[in-house]
Structure 1
Amino acid sequence: MFELHPRLQADTRSLGDLPLCRVLLAKDSQYPWLILVPRIAGLREIHHLPPAQQQQLMQESCAVASLMEQALSPDKINVAALGNLVPQLHLHHVCRFESDPAWPGPIWGARPAVPYNAQDLQREADNWRARLATLSGFSPLLD
């Protein structure tokens, strides 16, 4: 049975599900940051997925990146599957701007996360849910 890793659970807000992946909003207000997590128990690596699910993951990742690009016009979108601290397969999608606090370096380890206040986190989650609702197969998860 699929369960989010405790660290992902603590550091994100669940927005909803695409056909393969749960979509999460990172709770760091410094960066527009969505995370895709395939809803498959015990999954650690992309190459462990069967080819059809690899393609589905890539389609969902590209759809989310395109949505972020259309909504925010970032200078760059970083997409990464890092798993040193959280072994559960998850793909980060981070909009980067030349004006962001870590530019041009990586966001990891650059500075501590700046959490949203409760009202801003709810607003950001609602805004992303509305945008994600335009994607085929998206089912929102409400708080």
Structure 2
Amino acid sequence: MFTLHPQLAKDSLAVTELPLCSLLMSKDANYPWFILVPRRDGIKEIYELSDAEQAQFWQESARVSRVLMGHFGGHKLNVAALGNMVPQLHVHHVVRFEGDAAWPKPIWGQVPAKDFAAGEAEARIDAIKALLA
């Protein structure tokens, strides 16, 4: 049975379920920041997924990427699987804008996390969920 890592559960909100991955949204409102998590226990790296799961993962990543860039209209999409702090395989999809809080540096450790205004997180989740439906 799949269990989401406690740190991911603490730092993100559920958006939707895709065939392989759960799509989460970071609670940090500084950036449009979404996270794909394959629902497979014990997996730390993409190469540990089966060939079919890898293909499915990349299809889901591309689909999410198209939706995020189409909706937010960023200058760049950062896609990264780090896993240094949270070993469970999860892949960040962060829409970046020239002049955002960390531009042009990586987002990690640059500025404190920012809370969403009331209703803003829910509205963002609803919009992305509708675009993926």
TM-score where L is the length of structure 2: 0.96
Give the paired residue count. 133
Shift of residue 118, structure 1, vs aligned partner: 4.0
Correspondence for 1:119: 119
Give per-residue Cα distances to partners, 1:99-140, cap 9 Å, x unaligned: 20100000001011102134222222212211221xxxxxxx
Give per-residue Cα distances to partners, 1:30-68, cap 9 Å, x unaligned: 100110000011111101111111111111001110111
Correspondence for 2:87: 87
- Secondary structure at 2:70's aligned position in 1? helix
| Consecutive aligned runs of 4 or more in structure 1 exceeding 2 Å deviation | none
Gaps of 5+ in 2: none
For 1:56 and 1:127, locate their aligned partners in 2 and report how far apart those are by CA, in whole Å.
23
> Which one-letter code corresponds to 1:98 in the other structure?
E
Correspondence for 1:13: 13
Gaps of 5+ in 1: 134-143
Equivalent runs, 1:39-78 vs 2, <5 Å? 39-78=39-78
For 2:102 and 2:44, locate their aligned partners in 1 and report how far apart those are by CA, in whole Å.
28
For 1:31 and 1:69, locate their aligned partners in 2 and report how far apart those are by CA, in whole Å.
12
- Secondary structure at 2:16's aligned position in 1? strand
Q: CA RMSD in A?
A: 0.9
Q: Is the 8 A contact 2:67 2:128 kept in 1?
A: no
Q: Is the 8 A contact 2:38 2:57 kept in 1?
A: yes
For 2:66 and 2:128, locate their aligned partners in 1 and report how far apart those are by CA, in whole Å.
13
Correspondence for 2:3: 3
Quick one: higher RCO (CA 8 Å, sep 6+), 1 or 2? 1
The answer to which of 2-11 and 65-74 deviates more is 65-74
For 2:62 and 2:11, locate their aligned partners in 1 and report how far apart those are by CA, in whole Å.
23
